[in-house]
Amino acid sequence: AFTPNGDGENDIYLPSIVGAIEYEFIIFSRWGDVVFRTTNTSEGWNGNDQNVGSMLPVGVYTFTIHVRDINMQVANKKGYITLFR
């Protein structure tokens, strides 16, 4: 869970990824709409639509992460993020 409320603490959801040569992080609303997507391991989600649009509502969001590391090993992960304000 994270709390993007502008207090400077826990305002960005950013997975910890090390050694990736290929990376994609996608967050979906409960209706399946993509609300955030990045291929930059240092860019996290701020709780807004595509990080620049309107603030998204409190709730549970689904994410997928695709990583290929320097050894060409592939990892695909799915999970949930709870957004609180």
Closest by CA position to 71, among listed 15, 16, 19, 18: 19
Q: What pLDDT tens digit does each residue of the chain (85 aa) get?
A: 999 998 999 999 999 998 899 999 999 999 999 999 999 999 999 999 999 999 999 999 999 999 999 999 999 999 999 999 8
Q: E-strand spans in 1-85?
A: 20-28, 34-38, 59-69, 74-83
Q: Give the CA distances from residue 74 to residues 22, 66, 85, in Å, rounded to whole numbers and listed in that order.
A: 9, 7, 34
What's the pLDDT score for residue 85?
A: 85
CA distance 9 to 17: 20
